[in-house]
Structure 1
Amino acid sequence: MKKMDLRDSLMMVISIFALCLTKPLSAESVSQSKSSPPTREMMHNYWSSSNEHGSWFAGVGAGLMKPSIPAGFSINNGSDFDMPYNMDVYSANWSDPYIVSAMLGRMWQRPGLFIPGYALGLRYQHFFAKDITGLVMQYSLPEFINYEYNLGVRINTLSVYTKLDLVKLGRVLPYLTGGIGLSSNHSEIYEEKPLPGIVPRDNPSFAARTKSQFTYDLGLGVDVLINPQVILSLGYAYQYFGTFNTGYGQRAEWTSQRIDLGKLTANTVLLELTYLFDKKEHNEFIK
Protein backbone atom coordinates (compact mmCIF):
# COMPACT_ATOMS: atom_id res chain seq x y z
CA MET A 1 0.00 0.00 0.00
CA LYS A 2 1.22 3.50 -0.85
CA LYS A 3 2.56 5.40 2.17
CA MET A 4 0.55 8.54 3.08
CA ASP A 5 2.43 11.84 2.99
CA LEU A 6 1.88 14.71 5.47
CA ARG A 7 -0.80 16.37 3.34
CA ASP A 8 -2.89 13.18 3.12
CA SER A 9 -2.59 12.64 6.87
CA LEU A 10 -3.81 16.16 7.58
CA MET A 11 -6.78 15.73 5.26
CA MET A 12 -7.69 12.49 7.03
CA VAL A 13 -7.69 14.22 10.46
CA ILE A 14 -9.91 17.05 9.17
CA SER A 15 -12.31 14.53 7.66
CA ILE A 16 -12.62 12.56 10.90
CA PHE A 17 -13.26 15.81 12.86
CA ALA A 18 -15.96 16.88 10.40
CA LEU A 19 -17.68 13.51 10.64
CA CYS A 20 -17.66 13.80 14.45
CA LEU A 21 -19.75 16.96 14.17
CA THR A 22 -22.45 15.25 12.13
CA LYS A 23 -22.71 11.73 13.60
CA PRO A 24 -21.04 9.53 16.25
CA LEU A 25 -17.89 7.72 15.25
CA SER A 26 -17.96 3.96 14.95
CA ALA A 27 -15.07 1.56 14.74
CA GLU A 28 -16.09 0.79 11.17
CA SER A 29 -16.05 4.43 10.11
CA VAL A 30 -12.64 5.04 11.70
CA SER A 31 -11.24 1.94 10.02
CA GLN A 32 -12.64 3.07 6.69
CA SER A 33 -11.08 6.51 7.10
CA LYS A 34 -7.68 5.00 7.80
CA SER A 35 -7.82 2.71 4.81
CA SER A 36 -9.21 5.30 2.41
CA PRO A 37 -7.72 8.79 2.75
CA PRO A 38 -10.35 11.49 2.03
CA THR A 39 -10.44 12.93 -1.43
CA ARG A 40 -11.02 16.58 -2.40
CA GLU A 41 -14.48 15.62 -3.63
CA MET A 42 -15.44 14.25 -0.19
CA MET A 43 -14.33 17.45 1.57
CA HIS A 44 -16.11 19.66 -0.99
CA ASN A 45 -19.36 17.74 -0.55
CA TYR A 46 -19.18 18.07 3.24
CA TRP A 47 -18.69 21.83 3.29
CA SER A 48 -21.22 22.41 0.49
CA SER A 49 -23.97 20.79 2.55
CA SER A 50 -23.99 23.79 4.93
CA ASN A 51 -24.01 26.56 2.30
CA GLU A 52 -26.26 29.56 2.92
CA HIS A 53 -29.31 30.25 0.80
CA GLY A 54 -29.61 33.80 -0.52
CA SER A 55 -32.61 35.78 -1.69
CA TRP A 56 -33.39 39.35 -2.70
CA PHE A 57 -35.43 41.47 -0.33
CA ALA A 58 -37.24 44.81 -0.22
CA GLY A 59 -38.39 46.64 2.87
CA VAL A 60 -40.15 49.77 4.08
CA GLY A 61 -40.25 51.36 7.50
CA ALA A 62 -41.47 54.28 9.59
CA GLY A 63 -40.53 55.64 12.98
CA LEU A 64 -39.45 58.52 15.19
CA MET A 65 -36.22 60.46 15.57
CA LYS A 66 -34.96 62.24 18.70
CA PRO A 67 -32.36 64.74 17.44
CA SER A 68 -29.54 66.05 19.59
CA ILE A 69 -28.90 69.77 19.08
CA PRO A 70 -27.55 72.45 21.41
CA ALA A 71 -30.13 74.17 23.62
CA GLY A 72 -28.84 77.48 22.31
CA PHE A 73 -26.12 79.19 20.30
CA SER A 74 -24.64 82.66 19.88
CA ILE A 75 -24.04 84.81 16.80
CA ASN A 76 -22.02 88.02 16.55
CA ASN A 77 -24.44 90.93 16.07
CA GLY A 78 -21.91 93.26 14.47
CA SER A 79 -21.94 95.81 17.27
CA ASP A 80 -18.85 97.42 18.82
CA PHE A 81 -19.74 96.31 22.34
CA ASP A 82 -17.41 94.17 24.41
CA MET A 83 -18.08 90.48 25.04
CA PRO A 84 -20.66 89.17 25.66
CA TYR A 85 -22.78 92.14 24.55
CA ASN A 86 -21.58 91.88 20.96
CA MET A 87 -23.35 88.51 20.75
CA ASP A 88 -27.02 87.63 20.28
CA VAL A 89 -28.14 84.44 22.01
CA TYR A 90 -30.58 82.09 20.26
CA SER A 91 -32.54 79.38 22.03
CA ALA A 92 -33.25 76.22 19.98
CA ASN A 93 -36.14 73.77 20.07
CA TRP A 94 -36.65 70.90 17.63
CA SER A 95 -39.73 68.73 17.89
CA ASP A 96 -39.24 65.02 17.21
CA PRO A 97 -39.39 64.41 13.42
CA TYR A 98 -40.85 61.37 11.68
CA ILE A 99 -38.81 58.97 9.54
CA VAL A 100 -39.63 56.82 6.53
CA SER A 101 -37.20 54.35 4.99
CA ALA A 102 -36.88 52.02 2.01
CA MET A 103 -34.40 49.16 1.58
CA LEU A 104 -33.33 46.84 -1.22
CA GLY A 105 -30.69 44.16 -1.01
CA ARG A 106 -29.67 40.57 -0.54
CA MET A 107 -30.31 38.34 2.49
CA TRP A 108 -28.58 35.06 3.25
CA GLN A 109 -30.07 32.40 5.52
CA ARG A 110 -28.46 29.32 6.97
CA PRO A 111 -29.64 26.45 9.16
CA GLY A 112 -28.49 26.62 12.73
CA LEU A 113 -29.15 28.32 16.04
CA PHE A 114 -26.45 30.99 15.91
CA ILE A 115 -25.99 33.54 13.12
CA PRO A 116 -29.02 32.23 11.20
CA GLY A 117 -29.02 35.11 8.74
CA TYR A 118 -27.36 38.29 7.52
CA ALA A 119 -28.17 40.94 4.93
CA LEU A 120 -26.48 43.58 2.81
CA GLY A 121 -28.23 46.29 0.84
CA LEU A 122 -28.96 49.96 0.20
CA ARG A 123 -31.20 52.01 2.48
CA TYR A 124 -32.80 55.40 1.85
CA GLN A 125 -34.17 57.45 4.74
CA HIS A 126 -36.21 60.65 4.66
CA PHE A 127 -36.69 62.67 7.82
CA PHE A 128 -39.84 64.78 7.97
CA ALA A 129 -37.98 67.28 10.08
CA LYS A 130 -40.07 69.89 11.82
CA ASP A 131 -38.72 73.44 11.94
CA ILE A 132 -36.16 74.52 14.52
CA THR A 133 -37.67 77.39 16.49
CA GLY A 134 -36.58 79.69 19.31
CA LEU A 135 -36.19 83.18 20.72
CA VAL A 136 -33.50 85.80 20.05
CA MET A 137 -31.92 87.53 23.05
CA GLN A 138 -30.15 90.63 21.72
CA TYR A 139 -26.83 91.70 23.26
CA SER A 140 -26.97 88.67 25.61
CA LEU A 141 -29.34 90.62 27.88
CA PRO A 142 -32.51 88.92 29.18
CA GLU A 143 -34.45 92.19 28.97
CA PHE A 144 -33.83 92.22 25.21
CA ILE A 145 -35.60 89.00 24.24
CA ASN A 146 -37.21 90.67 21.24
CA TYR A 147 -37.66 88.19 18.37
CA GLU A 148 -38.72 84.67 17.57
CA TYR A 149 -37.29 82.75 14.63
CA ASN A 150 -38.06 79.77 12.43
CA LEU A 151 -35.60 77.59 10.51
CA GLY A 152 -36.80 74.85 8.17
CA VAL A 153 -34.74 71.65 8.09
CA ARG A 154 -34.69 68.65 5.77
CA ILE A 155 -32.50 65.51 5.92
CA ASN A 156 -32.15 62.61 3.46
CA THR A 157 -29.66 59.75 3.74
CA LEU A 158 -28.47 56.99 1.41
CA SER A 159 -26.30 54.31 2.96
CA VAL A 160 -24.92 50.82 2.59
CA TYR A 161 -26.86 48.81 5.14
CA THR A 162 -25.99 45.54 6.85
CA LYS A 163 -27.83 43.36 9.37
CA LEU A 164 -26.60 40.36 11.36
CA ASP A 165 -29.11 38.06 13.05
CA LEU A 166 -27.47 36.74 16.21
CA VAL A 167 -29.57 33.78 17.32
CA LYS A 168 -32.81 32.04 16.36
CA LEU A 169 -35.33 31.88 19.20
CA GLY A 170 -38.31 30.33 17.49
CA ARG A 171 -39.76 33.06 15.28
CA VAL A 172 -37.79 35.83 17.05
CA LEU A 173 -34.27 36.78 15.94
CA PRO A 174 -32.29 39.49 17.80
CA TYR A 175 -30.01 41.42 15.44
CA LEU A 176 -27.32 44.08 15.09
CA THR A 177 -27.25 46.65 12.27
CA GLY A 178 -24.82 49.14 10.82
CA GLY A 179 -24.54 51.47 7.88
CA ILE A 180 -22.34 54.12 6.25
CA GLY A 181 -23.20 56.56 3.50
CA LEU A 182 -24.09 60.16 2.67
CA SER A 183 -26.50 62.54 4.37
CA SER A 184 -27.99 65.52 2.49
CA ASN A 185 -28.53 68.20 5.16
CA HIS A 186 -30.70 71.08 3.97
CA SER A 187 -31.64 74.29 5.78
CA GLU A 188 -34.30 76.67 4.51
CA ILE A 189 -33.87 80.45 4.57
CA TYR A 190 -33.98 81.87 8.09
CA GLU A 191 -37.13 83.73 9.12
CA GLU A 192 -37.88 85.84 12.17
CA LYS A 193 -40.54 88.22 13.48
CA PRO A 194 -40.68 90.62 16.43
CA LEU A 195 -42.55 89.84 19.61
CA PRO A 196 -45.59 92.04 20.35
CA GLY A 197 -44.61 95.67 20.97
CA ILE A 198 -41.13 95.30 19.42
CA VAL A 199 -40.00 97.26 16.36
CA PRO A 200 -38.82 94.94 13.53
CA ARG A 201 -35.10 94.90 12.76
CA ASP A 202 -33.32 94.02 9.54
CA ASN A 203 -33.72 90.25 9.26
CA PRO A 204 -30.30 88.54 9.07
CA SER A 205 -31.80 86.30 6.34
CA PHE A 206 -29.31 83.48 6.76
CA ALA A 207 -29.33 81.78 3.37
CA ALA A 208 -30.65 78.33 2.58
CA ARG A 209 -27.97 75.67 2.20
CA THR A 210 -27.65 72.02 1.21
CA LYS A 211 -24.51 70.08 2.08
CA SER A 212 -23.61 66.41 1.73
CA GLN A 213 -22.02 64.87 4.82
CA PHE A 214 -20.67 61.48 5.86
CA THR A 215 -23.25 59.55 7.89
CA TYR A 216 -23.20 56.31 9.84
CA ASP A 217 -25.57 54.41 12.10
CA LEU A 218 -25.31 51.57 14.63
CA GLY A 219 -28.30 49.74 16.00
CA LEU A 220 -29.96 46.66 17.43
CA GLY A 221 -33.42 45.15 17.47
CA VAL A 222 -35.52 42.06 16.90
CA ASP A 223 -36.91 40.37 13.79
CA VAL A 224 -40.26 38.61 14.09
CA LEU A 225 -40.99 36.03 11.38
CA ILE A 226 -44.58 36.51 10.23
CA ASN A 227 -44.31 33.83 7.53
CA PRO A 228 -41.50 32.42 5.37
CA GLN A 229 -41.42 35.56 3.21
CA VAL A 230 -42.42 38.40 5.55
CA ILE A 231 -40.34 39.76 8.46
CA LEU A 232 -41.45 42.45 10.92
CA SER A 233 -38.62 44.32 12.65
CA LEU A 234 -38.46 46.74 15.56
CA GLY A 235 -35.12 48.44 16.06
CA TYR A 236 -33.20 51.25 17.71
CA ALA A 237 -30.27 53.07 16.09
CA TYR A 238 -27.83 55.83 16.91
CA GLN A 239 -27.24 57.98 13.82
CA TYR A 240 -24.62 60.58 12.94
CA PHE A 241 -25.42 63.06 10.15
CA GLY A 242 -22.30 65.22 10.06
CA THR A 243 -22.28 68.97 10.67
CA PHE A 244 -25.32 71.17 10.13
CA ASN A 245 -25.30 74.89 9.35
CA THR A 246 -27.05 77.54 7.27
CA GLY A 247 -25.67 79.80 4.58
CA TYR A 248 -24.29 83.22 5.51
CA GLY A 249 -26.47 86.24 6.27
CA GLN A 250 -27.72 88.32 3.35
CA ARG A 251 -27.65 91.70 5.13
CA ALA A 252 -24.49 93.79 5.19
CA GLU A 253 -23.79 93.39 8.93
CA TRP A 254 -24.45 89.63 8.80
CA THR A 255 -22.50 88.50 5.72
CA SER A 256 -19.79 86.80 7.81
CA GLN A 257 -22.24 85.12 10.21
CA ARG A 258 -24.36 81.98 10.00
CA ILE A 259 -26.19 79.52 12.24
CA ASP A 260 -23.95 76.56 13.11
CA LEU A 261 -25.49 73.69 15.08
CA GLY A 262 -22.30 71.63 15.03
CA LYS A 263 -22.41 67.86 14.72
CA LEU A 264 -25.93 66.51 14.37
CA THR A 265 -26.79 63.14 15.93
CA ALA A 266 -30.05 61.39 16.74
CA ASN A 267 -31.61 58.39 18.43
CA THR A 268 -34.15 56.67 16.20
CA VAL A 269 -36.79 53.97 16.64
CA LEU A 270 -37.98 52.28 13.46
CA LEU A 271 -40.64 49.69 12.63
CA GLU A 272 -39.86 47.89 9.34
CA LEU A 273 -41.53 45.31 7.12
CA THR A 274 -39.34 43.15 4.86
CA TYR A 275 -40.44 40.90 1.99
CA LEU A 276 -38.23 38.10 0.64
CA PHE A 277 -38.50 37.47 -3.10
CA ASP A 278 -38.08 33.73 -2.91
CA LYS A 279 -40.01 30.48 -2.80
CA LYS A 280 -41.31 29.53 0.62
CA GLU A 281 -39.69 26.11 0.60
CA HIS A 282 -36.24 27.71 0.37
CA ASN A 283 -36.64 29.76 3.52
CA GLU A 284 -34.39 28.54 6.34
CA PHE A 285 -35.81 30.76 9.09
CA ILE A 286 -39.12 28.87 9.36
CA LYS A 287 -38.72 25.11 9.02
Structure 2
Amino acid sequence: IPDINSYTVMFTPGFIHTVKLIQTFCEEISLCISSANFQNSSFVQNNIDDAKLKIDLDRALNEIIQKYGGSTYQLERANYIRKECLKTNVPGILHRLWPTLSYASTVIGGTFVIHKQELQFYCGEKLPLINFLGYRASEGYFGILASIHTDEYFLIPTSVFFEFIKEEDVHHSQPKTLLISEIEPGNRYEVVCTTEGGLIRYRMGDMISCTGFLSRADDLVPLPSEPEEIPRIPLISIAYRVGSLLDVYGEKTSEQHVMNAL
Protein backbone atom coordinates (compact mmCIF):
# COMPACT_ATOMS: atom_id res chain seq x y z
CA ILE A 1 0.00 0.00 0.00
CA PRO A 2 1.70 3.24 -1.07
CA ASP A 3 -0.31 5.80 0.92
CA ILE A 4 -0.32 4.90 4.62
CA ASN A 5 -0.50 7.79 7.09
CA SER A 6 1.58 6.59 10.03
CA TYR A 7 4.16 3.95 10.91
CA THR A 8 3.62 2.89 14.52
CA VAL A 9 5.10 0.08 16.60
CA MET A 10 4.83 0.36 20.37
CA PHE A 11 8.30 -0.68 21.51
CA THR A 12 11.51 0.43 19.83
CA PRO A 13 13.06 -3.04 19.30
CA GLY A 14 9.91 -4.11 17.46
CA PHE A 15 9.97 -0.95 15.35
CA ILE A 16 13.58 -1.58 14.33
CA HIS A 17 12.81 -5.26 13.68
CA THR A 18 10.02 -4.42 11.22
CA VAL A 19 12.27 -2.07 9.25
CA LYS A 20 15.01 -4.69 9.11
CA LEU A 21 12.47 -7.25 7.86
CA ILE A 22 11.61 -4.90 5.00
CA GLN A 23 15.28 -4.43 4.17
CA THR A 24 16.11 -8.14 4.46
CA PHE A 25 13.19 -9.36 2.37
CA CYS A 26 12.94 -6.44 -0.07
CA GLU A 27 13.78 -8.63 -3.06
CA GLU A 28 11.10 -11.14 -2.11
CA ILE A 29 8.61 -8.34 -1.44
CA SER A 30 9.23 -6.99 -4.93
CA LEU A 31 8.82 -10.44 -6.48
CA CYS A 32 5.56 -10.99 -4.59
CA ILE A 33 4.15 -7.71 -5.89
CA SER A 34 5.29 -8.30 -9.47
CA SER A 35 3.86 -11.85 -9.47
CA ALA A 36 0.74 -10.90 -7.45
CA ASN A 37 1.16 -13.77 -4.97
CA PHE A 38 3.25 -14.80 -1.97
CA GLN A 39 4.86 -17.88 -3.50
CA ASN A 40 8.19 -16.04 -3.59
CA SER A 41 8.05 -15.08 0.08
CA SER A 42 10.15 -17.42 2.22
CA PHE A 43 8.89 -15.51 5.25
CA VAL A 44 5.27 -16.38 4.45
CA GLN A 45 5.97 -19.91 3.26
CA ASN A 46 8.09 -20.81 6.30
CA ASN A 47 5.90 -19.21 8.94
CA ILE A 48 2.32 -19.74 7.77
CA ASP A 49 0.94 -23.28 7.51
CA ASP A 50 -2.70 -22.32 7.06
CA ALA A 51 -3.45 -22.78 3.34
CA LYS A 52 -6.63 -20.69 3.56
CA LEU A 53 -4.73 -17.79 5.09
CA LYS A 54 -2.21 -17.92 2.23
CA ILE A 55 -5.08 -17.79 -0.27
CA ASP A 56 -6.57 -14.83 1.60
CA LEU A 57 -3.22 -13.04 1.52
CA ASP A 58 -2.93 -13.57 -2.23
CA ARG A 59 -6.47 -12.27 -2.70
CA ALA A 60 -5.78 -9.18 -0.60
CA LEU A 61 -2.59 -8.47 -2.54
CA ASN A 62 -4.45 -8.69 -5.85
CA GLU A 63 -7.19 -6.38 -4.58
CA ILE A 64 -4.60 -3.78 -3.60
CA ILE A 65 -2.87 -4.06 -6.97
CA GLN A 66 -6.15 -3.51 -8.80
CA LYS A 67 -7.11 -0.63 -6.52
CA TYR A 68 -3.92 1.29 -7.22
CA GLY A 69 -3.63 0.83 -10.96
CA GLY A 70 -3.36 -2.81 -11.97
CA SER A 71 -0.33 -4.12 -13.83
CA THR A 72 1.20 -0.67 -14.28
CA TYR A 73 1.21 -0.03 -10.53
CA GLN A 74 2.30 -3.61 -9.90
CA LEU A 75 5.56 -3.33 -11.84
CA GLU A 76 6.33 0.25 -10.86
CA ARG A 77 5.82 -0.39 -7.15
CA ALA A 78 7.89 -3.59 -7.21
CA ASN A 79 10.80 -1.86 -8.94
CA TYR A 80 10.54 1.19 -6.68
CA ILE A 81 10.70 -0.86 -3.47
CA ARG A 82 13.67 -2.83 -4.76
CA LYS A 83 15.52 0.33 -5.79
CA GLU A 84 14.91 2.22 -2.53
CA CYS A 85 15.77 -0.70 -0.24
CA LEU A 86 19.12 -1.13 -1.96
CA LYS A 87 20.09 2.38 -0.80
CA THR A 88 21.21 1.01 2.55
CA ASN A 89 23.34 4.04 3.48
CA VAL A 90 20.74 6.66 2.58
CA PRO A 91 18.61 7.97 5.49
CA GLY A 92 14.83 8.00 5.42
CA ILE A 93 13.83 4.60 4.06
CA LEU A 94 10.37 4.92 5.65
CA HIS A 95 9.73 8.30 4.08
CA ARG A 96 11.05 7.10 0.73
CA LEU A 97 8.85 3.99 0.71
CA TRP A 98 5.79 5.90 1.95
CA PRO A 99 6.03 9.65 1.13
CA THR A 100 2.51 10.18 2.51
CA LEU A 101 3.54 9.29 6.08
CA SER A 102 2.65 12.03 8.56
CA TYR A 103 4.75 10.60 11.39
CA ALA A 104 6.48 7.53 12.78
CA SER A 105 5.85 6.58 16.39
CA THR A 106 7.36 4.30 19.01
CA VAL A 107 8.40 4.53 22.67
CA ILE A 108 11.55 6.65 22.66
CA GLY A 109 11.79 7.63 26.33
CA GLY A 110 13.71 6.00 29.17
CA THR A 111 16.31 3.43 28.18
CA PHE A 112 14.82 3.26 24.68
CA VAL A 113 16.54 6.58 23.95
CA ILE A 114 19.70 4.64 23.04
CA HIS A 115 17.95 3.63 19.80
CA LYS A 116 16.86 7.14 18.82
CA GLN A 117 19.71 7.79 16.39
CA GLU A 118 18.96 4.56 14.51
CA LEU A 119 15.25 5.38 14.46
CA GLN A 120 15.96 8.85 13.13
CA PHE A 121 18.10 7.34 10.37
CA TYR A 122 15.15 5.22 9.24
CA CYS A 123 12.83 8.24 9.33
CA GLY A 124 15.16 10.78 7.74
CA GLU A 125 14.77 14.54 8.03
CA LYS A 126 11.31 14.76 6.47
CA LEU A 127 9.45 12.25 8.64
CA PRO A 128 8.70 13.35 12.23
CA LEU A 129 9.53 10.78 14.90
CA ILE A 130 7.31 11.11 17.96
CA ASN A 131 6.85 9.17 21.15
CA PHE A 132 4.18 6.46 21.18
CA LEU A 133 0.82 8.21 21.50
CA GLY A 134 -0.62 6.07 24.27
CA TYR A 135 0.71 4.26 27.31
CA ARG A 136 -1.19 1.02 26.93
CA ALA A 137 -0.89 -2.74 27.10
CA SER A 138 -3.11 -5.81 26.91
CA GLU A 139 -4.03 -5.08 30.54
CA GLY A 140 -5.56 -1.70 29.74
CA TYR A 141 -5.11 1.87 28.55
CA PHE A 142 -3.10 3.76 31.14
CA GLY A 143 -2.04 7.11 29.73
CA ILE A 144 -1.95 9.48 26.81
CA LEU A 145 0.97 11.44 25.39
CA ALA A 146 1.15 14.92 26.88
CA SER A 147 2.66 16.46 23.74
CA ILE A 148 4.32 15.33 20.52
CA HIS A 149 7.39 17.25 21.70
CA THR A 150 7.92 15.16 24.84
CA ASP A 151 8.11 11.56 26.03
CA GLU A 152 5.81 12.31 28.98
CA TYR A 153 2.35 10.88 29.52
CA PHE A 154 -0.72 11.86 31.49
CA LEU A 155 -2.04 8.90 33.46
CA ILE A 156 -5.77 8.19 33.11
CA PRO A 157 -7.06 7.38 36.61
CA THR A 158 -10.66 7.19 35.39
CA SER A 159 -9.99 3.93 33.54
CA VAL A 160 -7.56 2.28 35.97
CA PHE A 161 -6.94 2.51 39.70
CA PHE A 162 -3.21 3.08 40.05
CA GLU A 163 -0.81 2.21 42.81
CA PHE A 164 2.95 2.60 42.72
CA ILE A 165 5.92 0.78 44.25
CA LYS A 166 9.13 2.70 44.89
CA GLU A 167 12.04 1.54 42.74
CA GLU A 168 14.06 0.42 45.76
CA ASP A 169 11.19 -1.79 46.96
CA VAL A 170 10.27 -3.63 43.75
CA HIS A 171 12.13 -6.82 44.69
CA HIS A 172 10.23 -7.23 47.97
CA SER A 173 7.46 -9.83 48.00
CA GLN A 174 4.94 -7.50 49.70
CA PRO A 175 6.14 -3.95 49.04
CA LYS A 176 4.31 -0.88 50.25
CA THR A 177 2.33 0.94 47.56
CA LEU A 178 1.64 4.63 47.03
CA LEU A 179 -1.39 6.32 45.49
CA ILE A 180 -1.21 8.60 42.46
CA SER A 181 -1.44 11.59 44.80
CA GLU A 182 1.66 10.43 46.69
CA ILE A 183 4.26 9.99 43.96
CA GLU A 184 6.92 12.67 43.63
CA PRO A 185 8.97 14.08 40.73
CA GLY A 186 12.48 12.71 40.38
CA ASN A 187 11.55 9.22 41.56
CA ARG A 188 10.86 5.95 39.77
CA TYR A 189 8.02 3.57 40.51
CA GLU A 190 6.66 0.25 39.33
CA VAL A 191 3.05 0.52 38.16
CA VAL A 192 0.38 -1.55 39.93
CA CYS A 193 -3.10 -1.51 38.42
CA THR A 194 -6.63 -2.56 39.26
CA THR A 195 -8.85 -2.63 36.17
CA GLU A 196 -12.48 -3.05 35.20
CA GLY A 197 -11.43 -6.20 33.37
CA GLY A 198 -10.78 -7.99 36.65
CA LEU A 199 -7.10 -7.42 37.41
CA ILE A 200 -6.60 -6.76 41.11
CA ARG A 201 -3.42 -4.98 42.21
CA TYR A 202 -1.60 -6.38 39.19
CA ARG A 203 2.10 -5.57 39.01
CA MET A 204 2.77 -4.40 35.47
CA GLY A 205 6.55 -4.71 35.56
CA ASP A 206 6.80 -1.23 34.01
CA MET A 207 9.15 1.18 35.76
CA ILE A 208 8.05 4.77 35.23
CA SER A 209 9.67 8.07 36.14
CA CYS A 210 7.60 10.85 37.65
CA THR A 211 8.97 13.85 35.76
CA GLY A 212 6.84 16.57 37.31
CA PHE A 213 3.33 17.93 37.62
CA LEU A 214 1.26 19.74 35.03
CA SER A 215 1.68 23.50 35.33
CA ARG A 216 0.92 26.59 33.30
CA ALA A 217 4.58 26.89 32.36
CA ASP A 218 4.52 23.53 30.54
CA ASP A 219 2.27 24.73 27.72
CA LEU A 220 1.43 21.07 27.05
CA VAL A 221 -2.36 21.41 26.99
CA PRO A 222 -4.73 24.43 27.00
CA LEU A 223 -5.53 25.52 30.55
CA PRO A 224 -8.19 27.98 31.77
CA SER A 225 -7.11 31.59 31.44
CA GLU A 226 -8.73 32.43 34.77
CA PRO A 227 -6.60 31.80 37.88
CA GLU A 228 -8.10 28.46 38.80
CA GLU A 229 -6.40 25.79 40.85
CA ILE A 230 -4.84 23.13 38.63
CA PRO A 231 -5.27 19.55 39.89
CA ARG A 232 -2.12 17.75 40.98
CA ILE A 233 -1.64 15.85 37.73
CA PRO A 234 1.65 13.92 37.52
CA LEU A 235 3.56 13.56 34.27
CA ILE A 236 5.38 10.27 33.78
CA SER A 237 7.75 8.69 31.29
CA ILE A 238 8.50 5.01 30.76
CA ALA A 239 11.93 4.18 32.21
CA TYR A 240 12.43 0.42 31.75
CA ARG A 241 10.99 -3.02 32.45
CA VAL A 242 11.53 -4.35 35.97
CA GLY A 243 12.55 -7.79 34.72
CA SER A 244 15.28 -6.42 32.44
CA LEU A 245 18.24 -7.26 34.66
CA LEU A 246 21.78 -8.56 34.21
CA ASP A 247 22.29 -11.08 36.98
CA VAL A 248 25.42 -13.19 36.41
CA TYR A 249 26.57 -13.28 40.04
CA GLY A 250 23.55 -11.81 41.84
CA GLU A 251 24.52 -8.20 41.11
CA LYS A 252 21.02 -7.23 39.79
CA THR A 253 22.19 -4.66 37.22
CA SER A 254 19.21 -2.91 35.65
CA GLU A 255 19.00 -1.22 32.26
CA GLN A 256 19.13 2.12 34.03
CA HIS A 257 22.41 1.21 35.76
CA VAL A 258 23.93 0.40 32.37
CA MET A 259 22.60 3.66 30.91
CA ASN A 260 24.05 5.66 33.80
CA ALA A 261 27.44 3.96 33.34
CA LEU A 262 27.45 4.75 29.63
TM bin (shorter chain) = under 0.3
TM-score scaled by structure 1?
Answer: 0.18
Q: Which has the higher strand share?
A: 1
Normalising by structure 2, what TM-score?
Answer: 0.19
Higher relative contact order (CA 8 A, sep 6+): 1
Of Structure 1 and Structure 2, the greater helix share is in 2
